[in-house]
Amino acid sequence: MSGAAPSGVDVFDLGSEHEQVVFCNDPASGLRAIVAIHSTALGPALGGTRFYPYASTDDAIVDVLNLSRGMSYKNALAGPDLGGGKAVIIGDPAELKTEALLRAYGRFVQSLNGRYFTACDVGTFSVDMDHIARECDFVTGRTVAHGGAGDSSVLTAYGTFQGMRAAAEQLWGEPTLAGRTVGVAGVGKVGRHLVRHLIEDGATVVVTDVHAPSVEAVRAEYPQVQAVGSTDELVASELDVYAPCAMGGAISDEVLEVLRASIICGAANNQLAHPGIEKQIAERGILYAPDYCVNSGGVIQVADELEGFSFERAQQRASGIFDTTRRVFELAAADGVTTAEAADRLAERRMREVGRLRGIHL
């Protein structure tokens, strides 16, 4: 479910699959947050904290429920013994974010006694996790100075690139983007690193971002990168691969009408604007690499921190996204279903088979 929330969201209806939804309120610091735990069948729920100026509480509820469900599937497919959760803090981080607010939030996460581990997401950074960790034991994605994994966008981009290589192999017979044109929508934390991998692999890269300084920074580092003024302009361009790396709902009916790419593979969460659009993608002959499959490098990176972080070990695990994406494509072909359905089947199989051994994480 993407876009605006219906008026008067019923949390029990919308979150009927979820184990727990917690509303956190600290008027003194301005904290208004929601933590959603979708599933702890495989272990404690892990997912980042998004700090975003939602138009309404209903919008925030819809987002956190969708994102937490996505984390259950992402973690199940990525391999760690972790369930799915997510949190949102409502407000503009540029105006509201303070040490006091983050520490208040940390105390709420601590009250869940390890059922939920938080990390970075849109609007939060490793240094914010350090503040949260002063009140909370269940934090990952911390700064390197505090023994953490640092910026998880590094392996999010690396994993997305591995998924894109698998898609290239599936469609064109070779696991490389050399000589292909890739359009990257959103060159913030993740998209910027993805551009580097693509350039090094020999791809032609076209970018866009609503934040002009992000585009300027990428072009300063890679002058050969082309920039266009909007996402609408990008999707209508002559592309081989479209990589949505910004907010969710990127693949809509309107985008599909004009998209000329043969592959969709990007780092954004919840890319499909509505149920059923995955079938339209397949009918158009476009190969979709499911978002939570290819963008799981970040969660692999921060999950590794729970063992005592080793970047080399985490990167080795993230390189397995190539094989996981390949398995998704193989299952889709064998079962005659879309790649999105195939990814869900693989994730659900693991949650079912391993989850029955564990039950609800306490």
Which pLDDT tens digit goes with each residue over 189-238? Answer: 899 999 999 999 999 999 999 999 999 999 999 999 999 999 999 999 99
The reply to whether 86 belongs to the active site is yes
Task: Give, in words, the CATH class of 153-296+325-347.
Answer: alpha beta
Per the annotation, does 22 bind a ligand?
A: no
Please tell me the distance from the alpha carbon of residue 342 to that of residue 333, in angstroms, as a whole number: 9
The pLDDT assigned to 248 comes to: 83
Per the annotation, does 97 bind a ligand?
A: no
Per the annotation, does 279 bind a ligand?
A: no
Per the annotation, does 218 bind a ligand?
A: no
Per the annotation, does 187 bind a ligand?
A: yes
For tokens 């939060």, what's the residue? 124
Per the annotation, does 188 bind a ligand?
A: yes
Do the domains 11-70+83-148 and 153-296+325-347 sit in the same CATH topology, yes or no? yes
Whether residue 253 contacts residue 280, with contact meaning beta carbons closer than 8 Å, is answered with yes
CB under 8 Å to 336, separation ≥6 — which residues?
Answer: none
pLDDT tens-place string over residues 9-51: 788 988 899 999 999 999 999 999 999 999 999 999 999 999 9
Please tell me the distance from the alpha carbon of residue 264 to that of residue 33, in angstroms, as a whole number: 32
Query: Which among 74, 86, 97, 279 is annotated as catalytic?
Result: 86
16-19, Cβ contacts within 8 angstroms, sequence gap of 24 or more: 17/69, 18/65, 18/68, 18/69, 19/360
pTM of the model: 0.89
We find that the CATH architecture of domain 11-70+83-148 is 3-Layer(aba) Sandwich (3.40)
Residue segments in the chain with a per-residue pLDDT below the cut of 50? 1-6
Q: Where are the domains of the chain?
A: 11-70+83-148, 153-296+325-347
